[in-house]
Amino acid sequence: MEGDGKMHLKEWLIAQVDSERFDGLRWENEEKTMFRIPWKHAAKKDYRQQDDAALFKAWAVYKGKYKVGSDKDNPTMWKTRLRCALNKSTDFQEVPHLNQLDISEPYKVYRIESDQRAGRHHFRWT
């Protein structure tokens, strides 16, 4: 998916989960309100940058923070950028008790905080 900067993280990430393009990135429930993101550490002996950093790289490319072919690969920075974007966003909440970080294919689980999905916004008046 080419980035033009038009989609926010929420819409972009939902589109990636729906695309089934990235191994291990998938919906965690039928309602599609929670999803899992592969979260393998780069220091693991079976770490494969091409596969294990693909989603993080795609976000960096989409946001214009990485230019394929001209910038040096930095999977640690790509992962940090997506993690920080998720943590900063009010659209997502990590679900720590569902995370599996000490297994061979570790992942984190996030819940989509809004009751609306991509393309629609829910506003609360306070």
Q: What integer pLDDT is reported at residue 95 of this predicted model?
A: 97
Does residue 119 lie in a domain region?
no
Q: What integer pLDDT is reported at residue 124 of this predicted model?
A: 46
**22 near 55, Cβ under 8 Å?**
yes
The residue-averaged pLDDT of 100-116 equals: 89
Does residue 87 lie in a domain region?
yes
Averaged pLDDT score across all residues of the chain: 89
Looking at the predicted structure, is the pLDDT value of residue 25 above 80? yes
Does residue 36 lie in a domain region?
yes
Identify the band that residue 6 occupies on the pLDDT scale cut at 50, 70 and 90: confident
Q: How many CB atoms lie within 10 A of CB 112?
A: 21
Residue 89 to residue 119: CA distance in whole angstroms = 16
Residue 45 to residue 31: CA distance in whole angstroms = 35
Looking at residue 73, which CATH number applies to its domain? 1.10.10.10
Look at residues 11, 43, 21 and name the one whose alpha carbon lies nearest to residue 119: 11
The residue-averaged pLDDT of 93-107 equals: 96
The residue-averaged pLDDT of 83-96 equals: 96
Q: Which two tokens stand for residue 66?
A: 């990485």
For 33-58, write each residue's pLDDT tens digit: 999 999 999 888 899 999 999 999 99
Residue 18 to residue 107: CA distance in whole angstroms = 17
Does residue 126 lie in a domain region?
no
Residues in contact with 24: Cβ distance below 8 Å, sequence separation at least 6, in sequence order:
36, 37, 38, 105, 107
**56 near 78, Cβ under 8 Å?**
yes
Does residue 122 lie in a domain region?
no
Does residue 117 lie in a domain region?
no
**16 near 55, Cβ under 8 Å?**
yes
Does residue 120 lie in a domain region?
no
Q: Which two tokens stand for residue 21?
A: 């393009």
Looking at the predicted structure, is the pLDDT value of residue 1 above 80? no
Into how many domains does the chain fold?
1
Looking at the predicted structure, is the pLDDT value of residue 118 above 50? no
Does residue 47 lie in a domain region?
yes
Identify the band that residue 122 occupies on the pLDDT scale cut at 50, 70 and 90: very low
Percent pLDDT > 90 in the chain is: 78
Structural domain containing residue 107? 9-112
